[in-house]
């Protein structure tokens, strides 16, 4: 090993090892759509002066010591080796070339002998942007929360760069805190019993049961290394809020119900019998007890130590079936999603699952745990994750950002759905197995689901108690 390597006083976290194993090699991709042509002479110095100092992991590689433990080790970073500026053939619009390029980098692995990140600068116009910057960050570096906080540290508000970014409120009821211990006891017992049941069913699902093969789950092995296509739709955040208010639910309930309904519509269009299939969604969760993003300085502060990294768990939620009745109420998908998510969130099985994985790590090692996670994702039909973004328009070195979205790769699932808010837009991104999922039809079914649910919500005079 080169003498210039300097060991960072930090072992690789267990999740960091799971996500960089022989079984899983996962990446988080952040896409910045730029409203003007990119001046890379301004962007590239930003990497050295702002991006690299955010966290030592951006200047480190993962090594295995003689005792078998994995640690981060500092190296000299040559930024030019991590910045990719592709050249496309001459064209008026470059959507096709852009899509092909994204398909390729989604499954390419970054070298393990260099820090685990790349930045791709696309200096060609597409239907969505004048130019695009793609951050490719290994999941071992951190989860979506950590990496988004790092990305936001490089950006400024357009209206006033001196002001901090603000985020959608995540109000929660404080009613429970006003109850005394005796009043809380029945709820605690109910939550405990459900948590035990939920934890048990999650274990059985992970180890034994597999979703049916359907138009959204091929059952193929090794799909994580096959080509994936990426597409997205944009929804008005104000429109979603109007549906939320009308149905007396949360934005998350509306989005989850819409996605579940759209998935079932797609399955039925491809195979009418698929409406009866057993299908499960894995919903990724941020387990931090925070209401919004912390600045990188706050995340590295000793008082909030531990905010950086991979603080995630997952919920396994059964996708409701589509019945044969023409009188099906699409709003039931939203209300069912609300019931399921409320139950799951009251459960502490996600923490029990985390403790079990930690125990597996100590007894059997990170490769065994990575295999468990791989099987959990592979036995399910779709993975869903979301990140809330800033409410204000932003800029990167005076380059206005017109769109912001992300995706995650590296798992065996055939469909990955990510949701991100930015300004007054909700961007839903679909990363789908090429040649198996009809990405255009899938996108149209999700759009149809939103339109149908929106129309049904606006037509009701009073929401039933659900």
| Burial of residue 415 (number of CB atoms within 10 Å: 0-12, 13-18, 19+) | buried
Which is nearest to 413 in space by CA: 132, 221, 164, 142? 221
Tokens of 117: 């990140």
Q: Domain boundaries in the chain?
A: 8-157, 180-386+412-459
Using one digit for the tens of pLDDT, what is the confidence trace for 165-202?
887 765 444 444 455 555 555 554 555 555 555 555 56
Tokens of 4: 């210039």
Overall size of the chain counted in residues: 466
Using one digit for the tens of pLDDT, what is the confidence trace for 361-372?
888 888 988 898
Tokens of 54: 């955010």
| Burial of residue 440 (number of CB atoms within 10 Å: 0-12, 13-18, 19+) | exposed
Distance CA 111, CA 117 (A): 9
Q: In CATH terms, are 8-157 and 180-386+412-459 the same topology?
A: yes
∠ Cα 321 323 328 (to 5°): 110
pLDDT of residue 205: 60
In 130-236, which residue ranges form alpha helices assigned H by DSSP? 144-152, 181-207
Q: What is the DSSP track for 214-232?
A: BTTB---SSGGGS-EEEEE
Angstrom CA distances, 455 to 239, 419, 428, stand at: 11, 22, 20
From first to last of the 466 residues of the chain, give the pLDDT tens digit.
Answer: 444 444 445 788 888 888 999 999 999 999 999 999 999 888 888 888 888 888 888 999 999 888 778 899 999 998 889 999 999 999 888 999 999 999 999 999 999 999 999 999 999 999 999 999 999 999 998 876 777 777 888 888 999 988 888 877 654 444 444 555 555 555 545 555 555 555 555 655 666 678 999 999 999 888 999 999 999 999 999 999 999 999 999 998 999 999 999 999 999 999 988 878 899 998 876 655 555 544 545 544 534 444 555 555 677 888 988 875 445 789 999 998 888 777 766 666 666 777 777 788 888 888 988 898 898 899 999 999 988 888 899 999 999 999 999 999 999 999 999 999 999 999 999 999 999 999 999 999 999 999 999 999 998 765 455 5
Residues 180-386+412-459: name the CATH superfamily: Nonribosomal peptide synthetase, condensation domain (3.30.559.30)
**Cβ–Cβ under 8 Å, residues 82 and 117:** yes
Using one digit for the tens of pLDDT, what is the confidence trace for 431-465?
999 999 999 999 999 999 999 999 999 987 654 55
| Residues near 261 by beta carbon (within 8 Å), at least 6 away in sequence | 322, 330, 333, 449, 452, 453
**Cβ–Cβ under 8 Å, residues 143 and 387:** no
- As assigned by CATH, the class of the 8-157 domain is alpha beta
Tokens of 185: 């006891």
Tell me how many helices (H) and strands (E) the chain has. Answer: 12, 16
Q: What is the DSSP track for 179-191?
A: S-HHHHHHHHHHH
**Cβ–Cβ under 8 Å, residues 304 and 298:** yes
Q: At which residue do the structure tokens 């049941």 appear?
A: 197
pLDDT of residue 197: 57
Whole-model pTM: value is 0.86
The neighbour count for residue 305, using CB atoms within 10 Å, is: 9
Exposure string of 24-58, with b = 16+ CB inside 10 Å and e = fewer, is bbbbbbbbbbbeeebeeeebbeebeebbbebbbbb
């Amino acid at each position: 090993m080169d003498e210039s390597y300097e060991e960072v006083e930090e072992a690789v976290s267990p999740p960091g090892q799971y996500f960089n194993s022989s079984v899983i090699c996962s990446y988080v991709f952040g896409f910045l759509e730029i409203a003007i042509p990119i001046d890379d002479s301004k962007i590239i110095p930003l990497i050295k002066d702002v991006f690299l100092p955010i966290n030592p992991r951006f200047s480190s590689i993962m090594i295995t010591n003689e005792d078998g433990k994995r640690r981060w080790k500092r190296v000299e970073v040559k930024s030019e080796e991590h910045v990719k500026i592709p050249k496309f053939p001459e064209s008026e619009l470059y959507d096709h070339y852009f899509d092909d390029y994204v398909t390729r980098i989604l499954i390419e692995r970054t070298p393990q002998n260099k820090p685990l990140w790349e930045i791709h600068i696309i200096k060609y116009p597409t239907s969505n942007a004048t130019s695009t910057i793609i951050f490719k960050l290994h999941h071992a570096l951190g989860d979506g929360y950590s990496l988004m906080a790092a990305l936001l540290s490089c950006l400024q508000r357009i209206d006033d760069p001196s002001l901090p970014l603000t985020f959608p409120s995540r109000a929660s009821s404080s009613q429970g805190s006003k109850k005394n211990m005796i009043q809380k006891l029945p709820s605690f017992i109910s939550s405990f019993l459900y948590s035990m049941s939920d934890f048990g069913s999650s274990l059985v699902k992970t180890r034994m049961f597999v979703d049916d093969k359907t138009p959204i789950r091929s059952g193929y092995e090794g799909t994580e290394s096959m080509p994936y296509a990426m597409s997205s739709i944009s929804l008005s955040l104000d429109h979603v809020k109007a549906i939320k208010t009308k149905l007396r639910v949360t934005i998350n309930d509306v989005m989850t119900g819409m996605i579940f309904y759209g998935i079932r519509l797609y399955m039925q269009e491809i195979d009418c019998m698929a409406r009866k299939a057993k299908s499960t969604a894995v919903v990724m969760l941020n387990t931090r007890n925070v209401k919004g993003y912390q600045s990188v300085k706050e995340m590295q502060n000793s008082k909030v130590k531990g905010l950086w990294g991979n603080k995630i768990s997952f919920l396994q939620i059964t996708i409701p079936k589509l019945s044969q009745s023409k009188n099906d109420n699409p709003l039931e998908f939203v209300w069912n999603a609300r019931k399921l998510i409320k139950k799951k969130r009251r459960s502490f099985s996600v923490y029990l699952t985390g403790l079990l994985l930690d125990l597996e790590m100590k007894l059997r090692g990170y490769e065994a745990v990575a295999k468990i996670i791989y099987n959990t994702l592979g036995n399910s039909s779709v993975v869903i994750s979301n990140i809330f973004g800033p409410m204000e328009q932003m800029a990167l070195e005076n380059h206005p950002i017109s769109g912001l979205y992300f995706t995650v790769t590296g798992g065996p699932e055939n469909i990955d759905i990510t949701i991100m808010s930015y300004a007054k837009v909700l961007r839903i991104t679909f990363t789908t197995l090429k040649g198996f999922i009809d990405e255009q039809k899938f996108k149209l079914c999700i759009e149809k689901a939103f339109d149908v649910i929106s129309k049904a919500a606006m037509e009701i005079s009073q929401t039933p108690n659900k």
